[in-house]
Amino acid sequence: MVLLTSAELVWAQGDAGQPGEFLRHGVGGRALGLGRAFVAIANDANAIYWNPGGLIAAYRKEFTSMYTNLFYDSRYSYVAIALPRPFFEPHNKILRFLFGSESAWGVGWVRLSTFDFDQRNEANVSVGNFDIYQQAILVSFAHEWVRTSGIWNVGVNYKMVSQGYSGLVQNTNSGIQGFHPAWDYFGLDVGVTFQPLHAPFLREIPGLGSLRNLQFLRLGAIFQNFIPPSLNQGGVNEIYPAVFRIGWSYLFRFPKDWRLLVVNDYETLFKPRPHKYDVWRWDLNRDRRWGVYWGIELQKRMKDFLLLPRLGFNNRAENWTDSFTYGFGMNCRVGINSILKLDFALLKPNESLGWDSRFFLTLEFGQPFDVNYFLERIKIHKKKSDLRKDYLHIVAQYPNDQIESSARALAEIYDPNNAPRYYRMIGGLGWANVLYQQAKKLHNEQKFSKAKEKAKLAVNEFSRVYRKSLKEFTDEKFLNYGESYMINEQWSKALEKIMDVQQPSLRYCYLSGVAYKRLRNLDKAIESFRCALEFKEEDSDLYRICLFHLAECLMEKGHYQDAIKYFALIIKSDQKLLRQNYPRYTIFSDRNILDDAYYNMSICYQELGQKQQAAVTLAKVARYYPNSDKIKGRWYDKKLDSLIR
């Protein structure tokens, strides 16, 4: 019994002999090289061990194995296979959920064993050696839910645990129980990973929230032993503690195919209460501080190779110099659809032991679940919701050569609510138009300085596309380009772009007329506004504002009788107020154009020497529009008196 107890303590060094600690030694060269910070990026066969939710994110089917010497004749073994998206689209709904292209399965086997214990009988005579082992089989299932907020992956581990003594001579007086191996102990883990796309709150973070940046963030969490195994050791029932771990990772991209991955996990343990099957009754283990795990991985692609130096850190060791782990990986192509992964990790399992070198071998095989895979799904899917998922998957694998067409499809058809974010990611005329609309909205709200800043960004984006290819420009885009200059009060450049329009329209005439008017070319402005009247869209605000501008230009030219005629046409209109989104050149603060028309008519009458008519017209402003800014203050009374006298 002393030997057995000693073995258990050896297996559990560093964590106070918690039951089931053999499931926490760690597997995978990448995970160990990153200091065990892996819960958010578990996307291979090792996800079975670290976080089953990430199993569906594996790039191909994958087989991995590990066999390592630990200490004191202890061996640690791990074998696993991951089968993401096993079938394309089964027709049966249940089969599609379990085995379709949004599901994944995996099986892993973990074994910790210590060898060559001396076995003696009551007479202290050696009767041979025996081994002690603990092992577990993990059966994992994961399913993904693709939403506009992001890609959610949820997985569960069903684990069967056993322990036993190999080569032990049965002795009824030894008091050793449980030497017959049996898979009598069961447990359940629950894990989740999340790749945000348009997630609320996260999308509002400055510098991170854009779609181009946010999708490189990964979040993960796992609740190990959500339903805990319970082992009988020497007549004592031991319940595995619950382990809760959360983590995040972020991939930074640099020129020339350099990338830097940063990962961070936090972990705590919960003590079980005496009730074996009451899975919700856990107490936080305050004797054990929160585990903090950090890791960085540099990624450099070189033709058919991917080089991956790694560095990790965790706060588990008493001496901080023992808290670091080091690793290196190399992925190389072996055939058309196979990748061989070679990984190395250097770590110190325990303060009292030396450094341990571990080598790992993994094989990826089969069809890659890349952009082409989801393009094939697009060809067979008919439902809008399914197509949206496929396009979101392609966008989530940015950058790729299908990103522009997929982002446009989402912006225009499948997810128009997030159109600005898609256009911002791919740039081009779509993004320029979004910036223009934002500038126009700010201008309409009379936030002129912010409107100019946004208009400048729109002009820069329009200009970039303009220099690259004129073929992408339509008349509407030329007008938006020109109006962006107008918001920025660059009238000459605005007119230059407006003149690129091939087919005149009411808006074309209006914008060109306003630009000519601001440049004091009144003859050209009058010509443009007269052209606008030929479209005979009397019910539109744009038409009425063109009438107003035309009348104002005629006033400035001294053609007062013609100006009065056009002001009168405005007054006869049935539409009393301009609509909320009326064009803001000129701005009418109360959205009422009629009081301005009456007021300007009175000036025209005055200039023609018709003072009585001028007074009557000015009085109508006060009568019909008592809140007009044209009659505020004592100025109005003085003006009216002068006209009457």
Per-residue pLDDT at 172? 43
pLDDT at 236 > cutoff 80: no
Round to whole Å and give the CA distance between 423 and 208. 16
Mean pLDDT, range 389-395, rounded to an integer: 97
Residue 612 is which amino acid? Q
Question: Tell me: the pLDDT tens digits for 45-96?
Answer: 999 999 999 999 999 999 999 888 776 677 888 999 999 999 888 888 899 9
Question: Tell me: the pLDDT tens digits for 195-232?
Answer: 999 999 999 998 888 999 999 999 999 999 988 887 76
pLDDT at 376 > cutoff 70: yes
Per-residue pLDDT at 4? 39
For 39, half-sphere exposure in the C-beta direction (CA atoms, 13 angstrom radius) is 24
Per-residue pLDDT at 149? 96
Question: Tell me: the pLDDT tens digits for 482-524?
Answer: 999 999 999 999 999 999 999 999 999 999 999 999 999 999 9
Question: Tell me: the pLDDT tens digits for 105-126?
Answer: 999 999 988 866 666 667 666 6
Question: Tell me: the pLDDT tens digits for 139-154?
Answer: 999 999 999 999 999 9
Of the candidates 503, 486, 465, 467, the one whose C-alpha atom is nearest the C-alpha of residue 583 is 486
Q: What is this structure's pTM?
A: 0.84
Round to whole Å and give the CA distance between 408 and 420. 10
Per-residue pLDDT at 229? 85
Contacts within 8 Å (CB) and 24+ apart, 393-397: 393/146, 393/151, 395/197, 395/211, 395/215, 395/422, 395/425, 396/151, 396/195, 396/197, 396/215, 397/370, 397/371
Round to whole Å and give the CA distance between 547 and 528. 11
At residue 479 the predicted structure's pLDDT band, cuts being 50, 70 and 90, is very high
The whole-chain average pLDDT of the chain stands at 86
Delineate the domains of the chain, giving CATH numbers in brackets. 2-369 (2.40.160.40), 378-422 (no CATH)
pLDDT at 554 > cutoff 90: yes
| Share of residues in the chain with pLDDT > 70 (%) | 84
For 330, half-sphere exposure in the C-beta direction (CA atoms, 13 angstrom radius) is 9
The beta strands (E) that lie in 73-149 are given as 74-84, 103-120, 126-147
Mean pLDDT, range 624-640, rounded to an integer: 65
344 and 355 Cβ atoms separated by less than 8 Å: no
Tell me the three state secondary structure of residue 31.
Answer: helix
